């Protein structure tokens, strides 16, 4: 039995090598199908999970009347433009509302080398837990900014990108995108670099809110307005506040809960996910057909080989196993390739997501899905090999052993 | 004691135009243990079909084949496969070596079906046929004569009780042909195997103590009465 297994492996392996190019093409097609399938499945899932974890420990955002999603993208993920401003008094009212545990005003509108300057209160770094039980930390030698000084606390990602160090100075630029001719005269000094958090906080430069409000060249109403308020709630205050701002009022939007709004956003991507999923199915089907074609063609060339093996005493079952085994090797290479392709896709995706949002995806996390996809690929490979295996089973030994003309 | 006994064996083929042609019609044929037999016959007269029937890779229309006391008809497919692996050795005119495998692998594969794992036997046997330096050569890297020697070694590697050789010198030049036949005799003697060689080459058949005319034992087109006349 052991000897037969060794012979079986030898024959399968040699069969793959004999048709190396077409086997490689089939494995590649399987790898692409599997990789695409895993990519559409896992990257979106991972991104959604990472975005949910990146809400920085806040439950809601209060901002100008408009889209909840835009508000969250702007205030939490530092993407897109602010939908408008709130008055400072509105922040004060919210802060003192029962059920609001923490509230931090944000002001945006400037950048340095394309990275946003976000104005807030230093209490955000002193008091707030961006993850349960975890507060922001500065790298050694640094400190948080003072609310009344022209000081900056630089997100870890930005510090690395711009090579900013404690003591460095810079001039902010007006607007959210970098333009050389929009330089402000104020000079800020870097007083601290934040430890990496894997959240959007890493990709902005934090300065005191007064800095943005009173920046030279800003309109006078900036001085008493905020772009948004990040809110942490306690109890069931969310329902009351949503009713107050969204249903009864018309001045502001209360985006709560953040996770639900993000889920709606990801739901909008379902069509894209479906398209990729169908492409993956089609590539998978093509891969299966390639396996079928390879084995069918190789069968024509291997009929004599199978007849010789039968004459040497190989059973019909053994011949079937040779064909199935050959398919299994191709499928296994394809399945391993699909993991490789997935990791490359995931790595590239996580790089861009990190670059654009600061959200950190773990591109190499492995779970049960991978095992599932691996075995589904092997199973489909075996299914594709069944028709040629059946033909191999029926090879006419006598006819195929006769001398060639 | 008879190793092989054939009785009233018949096999027909249906041609493309639907006509049935009988190619094997053998009343009686016996081969004893360790006996060597040369069977002469014209090309295309059904000798290969006869050997395929004896090896159990073709089923007869009627009649019996007993190999080592076992009726091939009564055996299941897997039992017949097992018998072929352990009791039979087959030498083909075109050698039928497995092209993608080395000389040694060709022998090892044959051994695996008989459940044998002692690969030293294969190495020794290839040395015995003069190919100790060609163990890892693929068939296309060997000369025709060397390929035939690999085929002989493969047929004998499991020490079969019966070796069937179908025109074993058909693809060889006269010098290689006589060497191959000598080698086949020697190897079968050493393995104590019976040998049945079918050939149209009179030179090959002349070397056998027992010689049989295929045209006499097989007369598919004639009635049994005519066969009796021929025998007389």
Q: Element (H or E) spanning A115, and its range?
A: strand A115-120
pTM, to two decimals: 0.73
What single-letter DSSP state applies at residue B142?
Answer: S
A403 touches chain B (CB under 8 A): yes
Distance CA B119, CA B70 (A): 29
Q: Do B112 and A310 touch (CB under 8 A)?
A: no
A270-311 helix and A2-18 helix, angle to the nearest 10 degrees: 120
Q: Which residue did the predictor score with more confidence, A132 or B29?
A: B29
Note the pLDDT of residue B229. 43
- Residue B140: name the closest of B89, B188, B184, B99 by CA: B99
What whole-number distance in Å separates Cα of residue B13 and Cα of residue B228?
Answer: 25
Given a cut of 70, is residue A323 above it in pLDDT?
Answer: yes
Q: Is A400 on the interface with B (CB under 8 A)?
A: no
Contacts of A368 (CB under 8 A, 6+ apart): none
Which tops the pLDDT comparison, A369 or B159?
Answer: B159
Nearest to B115 among A3, A14, A15 (CB): A3
pLDDT of the residue at A209 = 93
- Strand-pairing partners, residue A135, are A129
What pLDDT does residue B227 have? 44
Q: What percent of chain A has pLDDT over 70?
A: 99
Give me the pLDDT at residue A402, please.
72
Q: Mean pLDDT, to the nearest integer, of A137-166?
A: 94
Do B100 and A14 count as a contact with CB atoms less than 8 A apart? yes
pLDDT in the model for residue B231: 44
Integer Cα distance of A55 and A251 in angstroms? 24
Tell me whether strands B88-91 and B162-166 are parallel, antiparallel or unpaired.
parallel
Q: Are B173 and B148 in contact (CB under 8 A)?
A: no
- Res B221: pLDDT: 59
- Residue of B67, B90, B95, B96 best to disrupt the A interface, most CBs of A under 10 A: B96
**pLDDT per position as a tens digit, A228-279:** 999 999 888 888 898 888 887 778 899 988 888 888 877 777 777 788 788 8
Q: Which of B77, B93, B111 sits opposite A316 (nearest CB)?
A: B77
- Contact present, A110 and A182 (Cβ < 8 Å): no
User: Would the CB atoms of A313 and B113 count as touching at under 8 Å?
Assistant: yes
Give the pLDDT of residue B225: 44
Digit-coded pLDDT (tens) for A183-229: 999 999 999 999 998 888 999 999 999 988 888 877 777 778 999 99
Please tell me which residue, A367 or A68, carries the higher pLDDT value: A68
| pLDDT of the residue at B17 | 80
**A34 and A331 in contact (C-beta within 8 Å)?**
no
Q: Can you give A120-157 as a three-state secondary structure string?
A: ECCHHHHHCEEECCEECCECCCCCCCCCCCCEEEECHH
**Which chain A residue shows the shortest CA-CA distance from B46?**
A402
Nearest CA in chain B to A7: B109
Mean pLDDT of all residues in A41-59: 79
Report chain B residues whose CB lies below 8 A from the CB of A308. Answer: 96-98
Q: What is the pLDDT of residue A86?
A: 92
The B-side interface with A (CB below 8 A) comprises: 48-49, 52, 55, 57-58, 77-78, 81-82, 84-86, 90, 92-94, 96-101, 105, 108-117, 154, 167, 170
Quote the pLDDT of residue A206.
96
Asked if residues B179 and B107 have their Cβ atoms less than 8 Å apart, the reply is: no
Question: Shortest CB distance from A10 goes to which of B55, B105, B111?
Answer: B105
The pLDDT score that the predictor gives to residue B226 is 42
Beta carbons of A316 and B116 less than 8 Å apart: no
- Is B2-231 a domain of CATH 3.40.50.300? yes
User: In chain B, pLDDT over 90 holds for what percent of residues?
Assistant: 59
Domain borders along chain A are: 2-52+269-401, 60-256
CB < 8 Å to A322, chain B: none
Q: Rounded mean pLDDT of A11-30?
A: 88
The answer for residues whose C-beta is within 8 angstroms of residue A318's C-beta and 6 or more apart is: A4, A8, A309
pLDDT of residue A2: 55
Please report which helix (H) or strand (E) contains residue A51, including its range.
Answer: helix A44-53
| Number of separate helices (H) and strands (E) present in chain B | 9, 9
Is A397 in Cβ contact with B81 (below 8 Å)? no
The mean pLDDT of A333-358, rounded to a whole number, is 87
User: Strand ranges (DSSP E) for A161-258?
Assistant: 169-170, 173-174, 188-193, 205-208, 225-226, 228-233, 252-255
Sort A191 into a burial class: Cβ within 10 Å, 0-12 / 13-18 / 19+.
Answer: buried
Over range B68-87, report the average pLDDT. 90
Residue A321: how many other CB atoms lie within 10 Å? 20
Residue B127: pLDDT over 80: yes
Residue A404: its pLDDT value, please? 60
Mutate to test the interface with B, among A9, A312, A314, A320 (most CBs of B within 10 A): A312
Q: Across the strands, what pairs with A253?
A: A63
Q: Which residues of B touch A304 (CB under 8 A)?
A: 96
Contact A14 B114 (CB under 8 A): no
The closest CB to that of A401, out of B82, B84, B96, belongs to B96
Say whether pLDDT at B228 is over 50.
Answer: no
Partner-chain contact A18 B101, CB within 8 Å: no
B82: nearest CB among A10, A311, A313: A313
Chain A, nearest residue to B98 by Cα: A305
Q: pLDDT tens digits for B161-213?
A: 999 999 888 878 888 888 888 999 999 999 999 999 999 988 889 989 899 99
Interface check for A219 against chain B (CB to CB < 8 A): the answer is: no
A332-344 pLDDT tens trace: 999 999 999 999 9
Pairing relationship of beta strands A60-64 and A252-255 according to DSSP bridges: antiparallel
B79 to chain A: closest CA residue: A315
- Contact assignment for A7 to B112 by CB distance below 8 Å: yes
Q: Which residues of A touch B112 (CB under 8 A)?
A: 3-4, 6-7
Nearby residues of B34 by Cβ (< 8 Å), 6 or more positions away: B3, B192, B193, B194
Q: What is the mean pLDDT of chain A?
A: 87
- Residue B207, strand partner residues: none
The per-residue b/e assignment along B128-152, b for 16 or more CB within 10 angstroms, e otherwise, is bbebeebbebbbeebeebbbbbbbb
What pLDDT is stored for residue B199 in this prediction? 92
* Of residues B68, B33, B1, B46, the one with CA closest to residue B213: B46
Averaged over A356-373, what is the pLDDT?
Answer: 78
Nearest residue, CB atoms, A402 vs list B48, B111, B117:
B48
For residue B28, pLDDT over 50 is answered with yes
What are the boundaries of each domain within chain B?
2-231
| Residues in chain A within 8 Å Cβ distance of B58 | 397-398
Predicted ipTM of the assembly: 0.88
Instruction: Determine, for residues B57 and A316 on separate chains, whether the beta-carbon distance falls below 8 Å.
Output: no
Cβ <8 Å between B93 and A3: no
């Amino acid at each position: 039995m052991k000897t037969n297994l060794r012979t079986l492996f030898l024959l399968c392996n040699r069969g793959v090598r004999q048709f190396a190019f077409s086997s490689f093409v089939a494995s590649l097609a399987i790898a692409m199908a599997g990789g695409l399938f895993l990519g559409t499945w896992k990257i979106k899932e991972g991104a959604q999970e990472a975005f949910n974890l990146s809400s920085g420990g806040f439950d809601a955002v209060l901002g100008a009347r408009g889209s909840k999603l835009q508000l969250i993208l702007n205030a939490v993920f530092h993407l897109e433009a602010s939908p408008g401003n709130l008055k400072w008094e509105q922040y004060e009212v919210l802060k003192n509302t029962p059920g609001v545990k923490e509230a931090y005003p944000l002001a945006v509108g400037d950048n340095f080398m394309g990275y946003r300057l976000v104005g807030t209160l230093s209490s955000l770094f002193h008091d707030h837990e961006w993850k349960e039980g975890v507060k922001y930390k500065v790298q050694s030698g640094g400190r948080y900014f003072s609310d009344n000084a022209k000081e900056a606390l630089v997100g870890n990602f930005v510090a690395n990108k711009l090579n900013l160090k404690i003591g460095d100075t810079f001039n902010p630029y007006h607007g959210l995108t970098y333009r050389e001719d929009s330089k402000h005269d104020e000079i800020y000094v870097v007083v601290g670099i934040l430890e990496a958090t894997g959240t959007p906080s890493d990709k902005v430069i934090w300065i005191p809110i007064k800095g943005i409000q009173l920046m030279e060249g800003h309109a006078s109403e900036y001085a008493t307005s905020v772009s948004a308020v990040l809110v942490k709630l306690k109890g069931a205050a969310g329902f009351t506040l949503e009713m107050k701002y969204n249903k009864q009022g018309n001045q502001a939007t209360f985006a709560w809960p953040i996770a639900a709004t993000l889920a709606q956003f990801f739901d909008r991507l379902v069509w894209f996910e479906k398209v990729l999923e169908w492409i993956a199915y089609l590539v998978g089907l093509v891969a299966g057909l390639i396996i079928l074609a390879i084995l069918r063609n190789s069968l024509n060339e291997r009929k004599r080989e199978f007849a010789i093996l039968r004459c040497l005493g190989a059973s019909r079952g053994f011949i079937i196993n040779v064909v199935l085994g050959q398919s299994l090797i191709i499928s296994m290479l394809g399945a391993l390739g699909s993991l490789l392709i997935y990791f490359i896709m995931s790595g590239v995706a996580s790089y861009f997501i990190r670059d654009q949002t600061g959200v950190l995806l773990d591109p190499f996390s492995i779970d049960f899905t991978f095992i599932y996809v691996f075995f589904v690929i092997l199973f489909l490979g075996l299914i594709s090999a069944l028709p040629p295996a059946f033909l191999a089973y029926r090879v006419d030994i006598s006819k195929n052993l006769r001398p060639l003309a | 004691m008879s190793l092989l006994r054939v009785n009233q064996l018949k096999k027909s083929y249906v041609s493309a135009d639907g006509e049935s042609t009988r190619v094997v019609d053998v009343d009686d044929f016996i081969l004893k243990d360790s006996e060597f037999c040369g069977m002469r016959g014209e090309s295309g007269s059904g000798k290969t079909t006869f050997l395929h029937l004896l090896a159990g890779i073709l089923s007869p229309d009627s009649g019996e084949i007993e190999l080592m006391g076992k009726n091939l008809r009564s055996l299941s497919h897997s039992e017949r496969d097992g018998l072929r692996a352990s009791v039979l050795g087959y030498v083909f005119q075109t050698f039928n070596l497995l092209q993608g495998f080395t000389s040694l692998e060709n022998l090892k594969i044959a051994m695996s079906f008989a459940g044998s794992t002692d690969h030293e036997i294969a190495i020794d046997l290839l040395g015995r046929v003069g190919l100790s330096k060609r163990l890892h050569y693929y068939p296309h890297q060997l000369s025709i004569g060397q390929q035939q020697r690999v085929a002989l070694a493969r047929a004998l590697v499991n020490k079969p009780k019966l070796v069937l050789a179908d025109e074993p010198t058909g693809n060889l030049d006269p010098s290689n042909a006589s060497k191959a036949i000598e080698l086949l005799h020697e190897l079968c003697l050493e393995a104590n195997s019976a040998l049945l060689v079918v050939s149209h080459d009179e030179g090959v058949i002349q070397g056998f103590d027992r010689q049989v005319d295929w045209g006499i034992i097989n007369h598919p087109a004639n009635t049994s009465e005519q066969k009796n006349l021929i025998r007389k």
